[in-house]
Amino acid sequence: MISEDDRVILRSLAKKVARIAELPIMEKRKEMWKRHNQLEETRPLLLVFPEGSWREILPPSSLACKGEEAREMERNLRRRIFYHESIEDDTVIEKNWVVSKVITDSGWGIESRHRLSQQETGAWGFDPVINGPKDLEKLEYPQVNCDEEATADKLEEAEEIFGDILDVQLKGIAHISFHLMNLYCKLRGLEQVMMDMVKNPQMLHRAMEILEEGHRRRVEQYVELNLLSLNNDGTYHSSGGVGYSTELPQPDYEPDKIRPCDMWASAEAQEMAQVSPAMHAEFILPYEKRLLEPFGLNGYGCCEDLTDKLEDVFTIPNIRRISISPWADVEECAQKLKGDYIFSWKPDPSYLAGDTFDPKKVREYVKETLEFTASEGCVTEVILKDTHTCENQPQRFTKWTEVAKDLVRNY
């Protein structure tokens, strides 16, 4: 239960969000995203995600609510306000409050294990639970469930708090993203997967077959249980874009029965960053392509360098957004993508970290990529993410965005 004092705080913040969402610039941004996502000519669009830095921007001590659920709601609202007041990228602040249906699944039958770091934010190590072909028999296909009663309670609570201020929306599964290799490496171990490509390829293919089938069955259950929701709005897509689109849903869609063909989806295989295009094409891409095929529009990639794998990525059905990581050859990628796909560039986030922040270096760095993409007629978006620290200086996000905004206006 959310206390009356916490409700007062939440409603006050919601009113501020509503005022921001009603600004004319928000509708202009929305229209620009629609044009951008259907490959029409616009200036490069810009999104900035503080991600790990949110703990420095909005530390627990900055929150006013007392209850844990209320504090999560407060954090959501304050982030939107921070975007408007301190970042001002091309994020659309919507006058809504999304209530997610309470959806669970049974998992894959076995749980991954990690060797934890001694450092609070340090990297963990793999602790394999699949150590041979027989262990694949332990894998089970996930069974999906929706708790209608808990969902109704969540919706009622949100409507009581925000219903006269924000548009309270009930959503099911709106973000579809497949991470087969990420899942399998957690179970098998990254080094072991790499060795299997050479020494035990049959086992790896069998594992991918099982995971593909499990994900396919999971999507089928979403459809059967009517749990899919449209994502042609501000829903996060792929590894950093948003879904505003006039191409989705399909012309024959039914509002009460959303299908995969009415939605965006995506996949990635960051664990394959260091393997050859041939191994990527053999061990992961066919399984991902079959999972992506039913969807209306697709994205691919995250932090992996796809420079030498783009020809294979282009064969993904309905591919629209492609991630160009900080380690990619942006000039070569621009020459290959041209204006046929969204060039979803992920600039190096390390410019935000360290003892000093140098806007001049940021300007030189971002400008170089924008010149490459402009010369090839690319449909470009600049997505700053993996920002794990701003050295407790939130103003760095403001300055970084100011530099990038000044540059994108010229292209």
328: left (phi over 0), alpha (psi -120 to 50) or beta: beta
Rounded to a whole number of angstroms, the CA Rg of the chain reads 22
Could you tell me what percentage of the chain is helix, strand and coil, using 3-state DSSP and rounding each to the nearest 5?
50, 15, 35
The pLDDT value given to residue 1: 85
Q: Which CATH number is 351's domain given?
A: 3.20.20.210
The pLDDT value given to residue 407: 98
What's the distance, Cα to Cα, between the start and end of the chain in Å? 50
Q: Count the domains in the chain.
A: 1
409-to-224, 237, 404 alpha-carbon distances in Å: 46, 24, 9
Contact 166, 95 (CB under 8 A): yes
- Name the 3-class secondary structure at 233: coil
Give the separation between CA 395 and CA 376, rounded to whole angstroms: 33
Give the separation between CA 77 and CA 72, rounded to whole angstroms: 9
The two structure tokens encoding residue 212 = 């593909």
What are the φ/ψ torsions at residue 167 (nearest 5 degrees)? Answer: -80, 105
Q: What is the mean pLDDT of each run of 10 residues along the chain (411 residues)?
A: 96 98 98 98 97 97 98 98 97 98 97 90 91 97 98 98 98 98 97 97 98 98 98 97 98 97 98 96 98 98 97 98 98 98 98 94 98 98 97 97 97 89
101-to-75, 108, 155, 174, 256 alpha-carbon distances in Å: 20, 21, 9, 11, 15
The two structure tokens encoding residue 211 = 């995971």
Give the separation between CA 291 and CA 375, rounded to whole angstroms: 34
Secondary structure (DSSP) of 104-153: EE--SSS--EEE--SSTTPPPEEE-S--SGGGGGG-----EEE-HHHHHH
Which residue range is the domain that position 377 belongs to?
A: 4-408
Contact 333, 324 (CB under 8 A): yes
Place of tokens 């076995």: 110
Contact 52, 389 (CB under 8 A): yes
Contact 170, 230 (CB under 8 A): no
Contact 339, 319 (CB under 8 A): no
The pLDDT value given to residue 53: 97
C-alpha dihedral over 81, 85, 88, 94, to 10 degrees? Answer: 30
